[in-house]
Structure 1
């Protein structure tokens, strides 16, 4: 009979895979994760996240309008007041009819 320690990697893999299934899934068409990224923001948190995101722009009203739209759709707002859109691929990939970025 094989020693019990030889099954440790298999048990660890199964536990790790179970954890991945628990912390990720589909919500409103966007993939969400409990540790940041897509879906890490609730709809109720969008106004506060967008207030910070738009705090450094001179076009505050337009920024807030589009940021909140994008946040509610993607459940994610990139960190900081500019850039970092790679943190939220859905937010980054929303485009206007002209093909320009929709989300600030």
Structure 2
């Protein structure tokens, strides 16, 4: 599948995303199989919401992800990579990253 971010409003932090499927056996593409519009929340905003909801502590585990423009195939994506998730309180902006957020009650 292909994940496409069609637009992003930096003021309102709203985005429009579509998933496209490339069916090799059938030799066809399904564009916009799924489309979503949502607001992207920042990690500090999520942390504030969790603390306001009563969680005693909030932890972030972050890792840099491969640059999607350099990925030529999806087999083994992320498998065997030396880059692991690490708990952190600071992380410099990267082109592609992923985070797990854990709230402890």
Tell me the TM-score range normalised by the shorter chain: under 0.3
Higher Cα radius of gyration: 1
Structure (1 or 2) with the greater strand fraction: 2
